[in-house]
Each structure stands twice: as C-alpha cells, then as structure tokens.
Amino acid sequence: MNSIVIGSGFGGIAAALRLKAKGHNVKLIEKHPDLGGRARVFKKNGFIYDAGPTVITAPYLINELFELFNKDPKNYIELTPLKIWYQFIFEDKTKFNYSGDEIEMKDQIEKLSKEDVNGYEKLVNFTKKIFDKGFLELADVPFDKPFVMMQQLPALLKLKSYKSVYSLVSSYIKNEKLRRMLSMHPLLVGGNPFTTTSIYGLILYLEKKWGIHYSIGGTGEIIKGLEKLMIEENIKIIKGSEITSINLNQNTIKSVQLNNQNEINADNVVFNADPHVVYEKLLKNKKTSTIFNWKKKRMDYSMGLFVYYFGTKKIYEDVEHHTIRFGHKYKEHLDDIFENKKLNEDISYYLHRPTATDKSMAPDGHDCFYVLVPVPNNQSNINWSVEGDKLKELVIKKMENSLLPNLKDNIVEEFYLTPDYFEKELNTKHGSGFSIQPKFSQSAYFRFHNKSEICDGLYFVGAGTHPGAGVPGVLSSAKVLDKIL
Ligand SMILES: Cc1cc2nc3c(=O)[nH]c(=O)nc-3n(C[C@H](O)[C@H](O)[C@H](O)COP(=O)(O)OP(=O)(O)OC[C@H]3O[C@@H](n4cnc5c(N)ncnc54)[C@H](O)[C@@H]3O)c2cc1C
C-alpha cells in the first residue's frame, strides 16, 4: 500500500509513523525545508526559538510513536516535568502559581477566595468525568458517521457540553480571577472560553493526569527525534516541496502534483494541512454537495496569533517558564478578537521563557523568549505590515511595565510572526493559529472528517480534523487514522 502524508506537523509525522508501522510504503512531503509545521524551530545567533508548542502534555502519545518500532524514546528525546505549570499575573499584580501540587493550589485559592476551595475540588472532579469520556474514550474514535455522534450525544449532554468552558467553571467558582485561570484552556487550542464547548474543560484534568513537561533543547528536539526515527524506519521524506493539486480517477485519489510539476501516484493521501484549504484549492474542480459546501462555509476559525520572538542580554531570573498575563478586561478583549475582529490595546498575553529551565536555549548570559498575543484572524483585514510594528511596540511597553524592566534596552535579537505567516507560509484559512474553533457545532462529526466525506483515498490528520488542535489532539488524530486506514 503506497501512502503519502502531506505536511510534517506533529499530526503528519505521527500519521507517517503509524502507517509505516502497519506496513505501508510511506512518503512524507513538506512544503518547508524543515519539519514541524507550527512546531518548527527558528535558530538565530545562538538563540533557539521554538516557533509554537511549548507546553507538552500527555507525553505518552509521543512515546508511543517510538514504541511502535520497539525503540526507547529516551534514546531520542528528553522530557522533564515542570514544577510550576503557569504563573498567572493580573493587572493588580496578583500572582498565582498554577501547578499539579493540590495543597499549594488550594492554599492559593483560599487566599483569593475561601469559599471557592470546595468549588475547585468539585470542578476538578467534574472535569475528570469529561476527560474520561471526551479524551480517553472519544479522542481517537472515527466520527465519520452520524450514528457514531448520535450514540454519544446523551453522554455529552449529561456532561453539559452545551455549556461553555467559562460558564461551566463559573457554576463552581465565584471569584473572577479564578474563573479566568481555570477557564483559559480553550485559548491553548484556539477557542474562546466564552463559546468553546465545556468538553474542552477536559484539558484542565489532562494536565493534572500527566503533568506539564518541557522537552530539553526545546520542542524542536522532539521533531528532530521523530525525524531520526522516520529515517531509520525508511520513510521517504521530501522537504521543500508543496503539493499543488490532487488528481482523481472518478471519485478516488490517483495522485498528487508536486510544485505544479511531478505527479506522484498513491493509494492513500493523508493531508496534515488545513482541510478547508485542501478542499478549496487543491480539489477545486471537484463538485461537492450543497450540505458539504454549507458545512465549509459556516465554519468559524480560531483566532490569529502575533508571536514576538526576542533574545535579551539581561537574564530575567524572576520570570517563570510559562507566564500568562491577563489584561484589565477579559471578555471584552476576547469579543474583539473573536467577534468584532479588531485590535484592542488592553491585551492579555502568554510569555515563554525556556531559559528558565534550559540554559542551552540562549548564548551564555542571555535569555530567550517569545510572547504570544491572541489577535483576530485575517478575516479582520488588518494590514499587518502596518499594525505589526505597532503591536510589537505595545507589547514591549506592557512587558517593560510589569515583567521585564528596561526590556527595550536589553533586546539583542528579535522578529515576529503575524496571521499573514500562518496564512501564506503554513497554508491556513484566514491565517488562523489553530484551524477551526473548538465549538460544539464544529466538534467530532461536525468537524472535517478524518476520512474525507467527499472522495475515496483522502484522509486528514491535524488540527482541522477530529479531535482538534494542540499536540495531544493532533497526535490523537493519527490514532483515528490507524483505525480507518
Ligand atoms: C504559537 C503557538 C503555540 C502553541 N502552543 C502549544 C502548546 O504549548 N501546547 C500544545 O499542545 N499545542 C500548542 N499549539 C498548538 C499546536 O502547536 C498545533 O495544534 C499543532 O502543532 C498542529 O499540528 P498539525 O499536525 O495540525 O500540523 P501543522 O503544525 O499545522 O503543520 C502542517 C504542515 O503542513 C504543511 N503543508 C501545508 N500545506 C501543504 C502543502 N500543500 N504541501 C506540503 N506541505 C504543506 C505546512 O507547511 C506545515 O508544515 C501552539 C500553536 C501555536 C501556533
């Protein structure tokens, strides 16, 4: 069986390995000269910047890929658990060290709001139930038939999946700061906590179950380890080549076209790219049903991301590995991003400082960072060549005033990415950071199916298909593939 996987994000690499383990003859084709997709690495002047994922959860899903070939993951990658998972900081300077230490968690919750300690315990217990169903049971189930969804609906309704994550958390927790911290998880997979189905409350428990890990040398080292494994297992990797169209024989995949030139025949083609773009641009001559066209059209896309990578000649010892800094207003800011599609100066941001754990990420005596600001996706028509620099200055000012004093004078290296990068370089619809939003109406059967709903031999893994974005999500999508191909 000849199978081609297109795209080398975590989902694509996992799919290539899983198919290889089943005996397929596998080729992996990637547009860029390096692997990883959103998890690529930018190396500049001794600084190592992981472009995207930094919070590694459910590490067993990564380890499994090595174990498929009886290889010991420790010979390829080194994951280490973090003690403090996120430090949350509010406008009034309140700090909260969020971790897996339940005694410390409850102590801090008690200081903020005594009455919420009990509610927190109940919330965690409830998210365990969601996790058992939504992750352990359903994350790798192929939702390509309506009856599979129908079977699950009663259980999902019992778990209150019609509620948003924020509203679920608020039914247990009264304090606004705690509500924000305990409901922020959808933002990690591209959703608005005020509209994301409470199924995603499972991430709160998933973190507790296996902890939060860091990959020594950066997340890029995981990609490197997996690339080594693919080479050892004779997966042919073709880099720097873009698939520009799909050729069908009637309704079945026949081949794909590389850079508008060479044609490669395949029995199966697995796309790790954004499904919407594949259907619109690569299969553009294929007539599709009215229902499918409606499904494509009604999809809401995740927010865009402005990511500013910078190195400093000063070491900011007090800054944790992962910091989430909330702005003054929260819901209003999220409404502007997701609904009104406009920029707002009252930003919240996530600051990554890998050098807090791993000095190898920067030259001696230096610190390495990225700051991620959620912004509207490109449906906003924001001109990033004008707004990019302005937003960079705003973020620097905000960080100087709180976490990183004298930052401007200490920056020695910098660059940033906007939704334009995600749209043009990573081929995503509207430059979204995480493909389609994790709403109930876009989850499971309602998402783009892992086995294409419109032609044979075409499959999807990655953020735009079931179960969704985030490293555990896209690795699970490859497990779905395992069951259907
Ligand atoms: C800044 C940022 C921070 C994040 N932080 C975290 C985190 O801390 N933890 C976490 O779990 N998740 C995080 N995420 C989410 C997570 O990184 C993604 O959901 C996941 O990595 C996406 O993987 P994927 O398999 O969907 O493929 P992608 O990474 O989207 O890769 C798709 C690949 O397909 C290639 N491609 C597209 N079209 C073609 C074509 N026509 N021909 C050839 N190649 C093509 C692209 O070049 C790309 O390499 C973050 C994401 C971002 C952007």
Partners of 324 in the β-ladder: 88, 350
Question: Is 463 close to ligand 1, i.e. is its CB under 6 Å away?
Answer: yes
| Encoded amino acid at 68, one letter | L
pLDDT surpassing 90 at residue 76: yes
Question: Is 468 close to ligand 1, i.e. is its CB under 6 Å away?
Answer: no
Question: Is 469 close to ligand 1, i.e. is its CB under 6 Å away?
Answer: yes
Q: Give mean pLDDT, residues 446-460.
A: 96
Q: What is the C-alpha separation between 152 and 174, in angstroms, rounded?
A: 31
Q: What is the C-alpha separation between 98 and 85, in angstroms, rounded?
A: 6
CA of 83 to the centre of ligand 1 (A): 26
**DSSP secondary structure letter of residue 250:** T
Question: Is 416 close to ligand 1, i.e. is its CB under 6 Å away?
Answer: no
> What's the pLDDT score for residue 273?
97
Run of H or E including 369? strand 367-375
Write out the two tokens for 377: 């996706």
100 contacts: CB under 8 Å, gap ≥ 6 = 85, 207, 208, 211, 212
Q: Give mean pLDDT, residues 140-153.
A: 92
| Encoded amino acid at 108, one letter | Q
Q: What is the C-alpha separation between 270 and 3, in angstroms, rounded?
A: 7
Question: Is 190 close to ligand 1, i.e. is its CB under 6 Å away?
Answer: no
CA of 187 to the centre of ligand 1 (A): 15
Question: Is 372 close to ligand 1, i.e. is its CB under 6 Å away?
Answer: yes
For residues 442 and 436, the answer to whether their CB atoms sit within 8 Å is yes
Nearest CA to ligand 1 atom 28: 9
Question: Is 278 close to ligand 1, i.e. is its CB under 6 Å away?
Answer: no
CA of 34 to the centre of ligand 1 (A): 13
Hey, which of 40, 255, 271, 272 would you mutate to test ligand 1's pocket, going by the most ligand atoms within 8 Å of its Cβ? 272
214 contacts: CB under 8 Å, gap ≥ 6 = 54, 56, 79, 80, 81, 82, 321, 354, 357, 358
CA of 273 to the centre of ligand 1 (A): 8
CA of 483 to the centre of ligand 1 (A): 22
> What's the pLDDT score for residue 259?
87
Across 260-264, 404-408, 418-422, least confident range = 260-264
> What's the pLDDT score for residue 225?
98
Partners of 411 in the β-ladder: 312
CA of 428 to the centre of ligand 1 (A): 10
Q: Give mean pLDDT, residues 164-190.
A: 97
Nearest CA to ligand 1 atom 12: 470
> What's the pLDDT score for residue 123?
98
Question: Is 39 close to ligand 1, i.e. is its CB under 6 Å away?
Answer: yes
CA of 150 to the centre of ligand 1 (A): 30
Q: Output the DSSP codes for 271-338.
A: E-S-HHHIIIIISTTS---HHHHHHHHHPPBPPEEEEEEEEESS--TT--SEEEE--S-SHHHHHIII
Question: Is 206 close to ligand 1, i.e. is its CB under 6 Å away?
Answer: no
Location of structure tokens 């169903």? 133
Percent of the chain with pLDDT over 90: 96
Q: What is the C-alpha separation between 282 and 278, in angstroms, rounded?
A: 5
Question: Is 427 close to ligand 1, i.e. is its CB under 6 Å away?
Answer: yes
Nearest CA to ligand 1 atom 6: 53
CA-nearest of 455, 456, 462 to 479 is 462
Question: Is 59 close to ligand 1, i.e. is its CB under 6 Å away?
Answer: no
For residues 349 and 343, the answer to whether their CB atoms sit within 8 Å is no
Location of structure tokens 């906007």? 418
Q: Give mean pLDDT, residues 406-416.
A: 98
223 contacts: CB under 8 Å, gap ≥ 6 = 8, 10, 13, 35, 36, 39, 40, 41
Cα-to-chain-centroid distance, residue 333: 21
User: Strand 84-89's sheet: what is its strand order?
Assistant: 95-99, 84-89, 322-325, 349-352, 367-375, 304-312, 411-417
Question: Is 433 close to ligand 1, i.e. is its CB under 6 Å away?
Answer: yes
pLDDT digits (tens, 9 = 90+) for 87-138: 999 999 999 999 999 999 999 999 999 999 999 999 999 999 999 999 999 9
pLDDT digits (tens, 9 = 90+) for 300-316: 999 999 999 999 999 99
249 contacts: CB under 8 Å, gap ≥ 6 = none
Q: What is the C-alpha separation between 455 and 441, in angstroms, rounded?
A: 23
pLDDT surpassing 90 at residue 287: no
Question: Is 275 close to ligand 1, i.e. is its CB under 6 Å away?
Answer: no
Averaged confidence pLDDT in the chain = 96
Hey, which of 30, 38, 49 would you mutate to test ligand 1's pocket, going by the most ligand atoms within 8 Å of its Cβ? 38
Distances in Å between the Cα of 297 and the Cα atoms of 79, 280, 283, 442, 448 are 40, 11, 16, 12, 12
> What's the pLDDT score for residue 313?
98
